[in-house]
Amino acid sequence: MSTIRRQSIISSITAYAGIGVGALNTLLAARELDPALYGLYGGLFVAVANIMYSVANFGMAYYIQRFYPYYHDHLPQKKNDMITWVLLMGTIGSLIVLGAGIIFKPFVIRKFGGHSASFVQYYYWIFPFGIGLTFYTLLEIYAWQLKRSVLTSFFREVLWRLITTVLVVLLLLHALRNITVFIGIYSCSYLLLAITLSIYLIRKGELSFNWKASPVTRRFLPRIATMALAGWGSNMLFNLSFFFAQVVIAAVVPDGLTFVAVFSLGQFIASLLQTPQKQIIAAATAPLSRAWKERDMGRIQRIYAQSSINQLIFSVGLFLLIWLNFTDAAVSLHLRPEYLQAKTVFFFIGLTRIIDMGTGVNQQIIQTSKYYRYELITGIILIAITLPLNYILAVKLGFIGPAIADLITFSIYNFIRWGFLARRFGLQPFTRHTLYTLLLGGAVYFICYLLFHRQQGFLWLVLRSISIILLYAAGVLVLKLSSDIQPVWTTIRKRLRIN
């Protein structure tokens, strides 16, 4: 089993365990908490913190991904100064973000005070949350290069969500005095993860600080600066586009935080489709960096194609399972009535995720190549379409508008990147198995819809789910859609002694 496949599978299992914890947290929030509170901490805080990270990291993520192989190959660990400059730049960026946040608070009050007053009330708590996310993410990306993607997946997908769930339970049991205490502890959660990950890597001898510029740093400094700036710009534009929806809903839609909660629920459920993507990116980034260094285009093509079909298979199957069961699940789990509206949000964002995953690791291929500046160009195009379209559709259609806008803009964005890689390098993620996967998904949908669309209740939810899983899995195996899935199935058959 290849390293990428093995790490992706293990990390995906860990991530799905985290999804289970996150689902419990979301279920508790959707059943027991005021939607405006969930919209605040589970929606708007997360969106703004990710935008803060994209500003504060100064392109250090791209620096790690592109240049780590050079540091690893030419320097002993104790003389590797990469992480020193990464964290230093992250600190400077965080201080700049903090200063800008203080200066622009009056503007925030004007824009959010009417529809999302709680955000203004807890405004300063967003900074430890965003700064913690910044440092954890930089350490996480560095740990990917150390082949620690399973560990970082556990931290982000399981441990962080477990902390959130515990806080929600303590709030419901009145063990926390008030919401301010809940928000305060929640805001420090990523700082705790960053400190814990740092201690682990230091004890393993994989994280050390060297304040003297190494020969590698001095030699590549002009290229590092150029790439970091280009990556910083493209990442900032991408994150602003990706997380702008919650911000604009909170600002322009009446009772904004409630509808941020509805949107965030649909977005969270759609994120289930992306779980394999995160792990594949984590496992593929280092091999892509090395493949570019060694000019191994064959390996890049294999990673590109396999990441595309594997992600497409997962995303289409999960989309069918969730879409066909959404209403039954919401009613059976006794979610607040407002959250039934999240089904439409899930539909549009779910399709967006399928398109994004089906085009493979195109972003990482461009980021780790010498054409990394192209990411900035596509980011400018993305932001130029996303911001006005999100705002216009939010005003006209309410919280559904940004979901539709994301489907349009991210489809264009991925089409442009696909075309660039096809023209420039002859790289192509799609095969006939791409078409077979889509046709299989369509066939399973119509069969299960015709069989179960008149049936409601928990029992039918279970029967419908089993039918979808069996039909889709059987189709994937019979059609041999992925060379990575077949060895896994063979191993399972041997373990279970199935002929």
Q: Which tens digit of pLDDT belongs to each residue from 76-113?
A: 877 888 999 999 999 999 999 999 999 999 999 999 98
| Contact assessment for residue 28 and residue 169, using Cβ atoms and an 8 Å cutoff | yes
Between residues 179 and 454, which one has the greater pLDDT? Answer: 179
Confidence of residue 457 (pLDDT cuts 50, 70, 90): confident
At 336, the amino acid letter reads R
Judge if 265 and 394 occupy the same domain: yes
Closest CA to 269 of 325, 311, 309: 325
pLDDT for residue 7? 59
Distances (CA, A) of 164 to 12, 184, 222: 20, 12, 42
HEC assignment per residue over 123-145: HHHHHHHHHHHHHHHHHHHHHHH
Q: Which residues of 71-101 are buried (b: 16+ CB within 10 A; e: fewer)?
A: bbeebeeeebbbbbbbbebbeebbeebbeeb
How confident is the prediction for the chain on average, in pLDDT? 88
Is residue 157 within 8 Å of 19, Cβ to Cβ? yes
- Rounded to whole angstroms, how far apart are CA atoms 313 and 321? 12
pLDDT band at 237 (very low <50, low <70, confident <90, very high): confident
Q: Predicted confidence band at 40 (pLDDT cuts at 50, 70, 90)?
A: very high
What percent of the chain has a predicted confidence (pLDDT) above 70?
Answer: 94
Structure tokens at 165: 């769930």
- What is the number of domains present in the chain? 2
> Are both 462 and 365 inside the same structural domain?
no
Q: Which of 303, 289, 295 is nearest to 142 (CA)?
A: 289
Final residue before a domain boundary, out of 387, 410, 430: 430
Cα–Cα distance for residue pair 214/380, rounded to 1 Å: 34
> 403, 430, 457: which is the final residue of a domain?
430
Same-domain check for residues 56 and 75: yes
Quick one: pLDDT at residue 483?
Answer: 79
Average pLDDT over residues 203-227: 87
Q: Which residue has the tokens 């059987």?
A: 474
- Please determine, for residue 10, whether its predicted confidence score (pLDDT) is greater than 80: no
Distances (CA, A) of 366 to 235, 250, 351, 360, 369: 12, 34, 23, 12, 5
Full residue range of the structural domain in which residue 440 is found: 435-499
- For 344, the token pair is 């439409």
Closest CA to 71 of 292, 235, 299, 290: 290
Long-range contacts of 195-201 (CB under 8 A, 24+ apart): 196/155, 197/136, 197/139, 197/140, 197/143, 197/151, 197/152, 197/155, 198/139, 200/151, 201/139, 201/143, 201/146, 201/148
Q: What is the per-residue DSSP string for 223-283?
A: HHHHHHHHHHHHHHHHHHHHHHHHHHHHHHSSSHHHHHHHHHHHHHHHHGGGHHHHHHHHH
Query: pLDDT band for position 352 (50/70/90)?
Result: very high
Residues 312-347 pLDDT 10s: 999 999 999 999 999 999 988 888 888 999 999 999
Domain check: are 452 and 313 in the same one?
Answer: no
Instruction: Return the SS3 of 90.
Output: helix
Residues 384 and 490 in one domain: no
Residue 384: is its pLDDT beyond 60? yes
Q: What is the DSSP string of 27-80?
A: HHHHHHS-HHHHIIIIIIHHHHHHHHHHHHTTTHHHHHHHHHHHHHHHS-GGG-
Q: Which two tokens stand for residue 314?
A: 């997962």
Please tell me whether residues 351 and 448 are part of one structural domain. Answer: no
- 355 and 261 in a single domain? The answer is yes
Phi, psi of 252 (to 5 degrees): -115, -15
Per-residue pLDDT, 112: 92
- Round to whole Å and give the CA distance between 346 and 74: 47
In the prediction, which pLDDT does 497 show?
62
pLDDT of residue 293: 80
Q: Which two tokens stand for residue 195?
A: 């400190």
| DSSP-derived secondary structure letter, 157 | I
Q: What is the rounded distance in angstroms from the CA atom of residue 127 to the CA atom of residue 176?
A: 21
Residue 207: pLDDT above 90? no
Q: Residue 492 — pLDDT band, cuts 50, 70, 90?
A: low
DSSP class of residue 421 equals H
What are the backbone angles phi and psi of residue 73, rounded to the nearest 5°?
A: -80, -25
Residue with the two structure tokens 């064959």: 298
Per-residue pLDDT, averaged over 296-316, amounts to 89
Confidence bin at 1 (pLDDT 50/70/90): very low
Same domain, 337 and 471: no
CA distance 212 to 294: 28
Of residues 189, 232, 191, the one with CA closest to residue 64: 232
pLDDT at 482 (0 to 100): 83
Asked if pLDDT for residue 272 goes beyond 50, the answer is yes
Shared domain check, 25 and 121:
yes
**Burial of residue 430 (number of CB atoms within 10 Å: 0-12, 13-18, 19+):** middle
Domain boundary among 408, 430, 452: 430
What's the token pair of residue 383? 């932001």
Check residue 3 and give its pLDDT.
56
Are residues 320 and 450 located together in one domain of the fold? no
pLDDT confidence of residue 494: 65
> Is 423 exposed, middle or buried (CB count within 10 Å of its CB: 0-12, 13-18, 19+)?
exposed
| 133 and 232 co-located in one domain | yes
pLDDT, position 275: 76
Same domain, 238 and 333: yes
Measured CA to CA, the distance from residue 300 to residue 321 in angstroms comes to 32
Amino acid at 271: S
As a whole number, mean pLDDT of residues 170-178 equals 89
Q: Model confidence at 499, in pLDDT bands (50, 70, 90)?
A: low
pLDDT at 64 over 80: yes
Give the count of alpha carbons within 13 A of 231, CB side only: 28
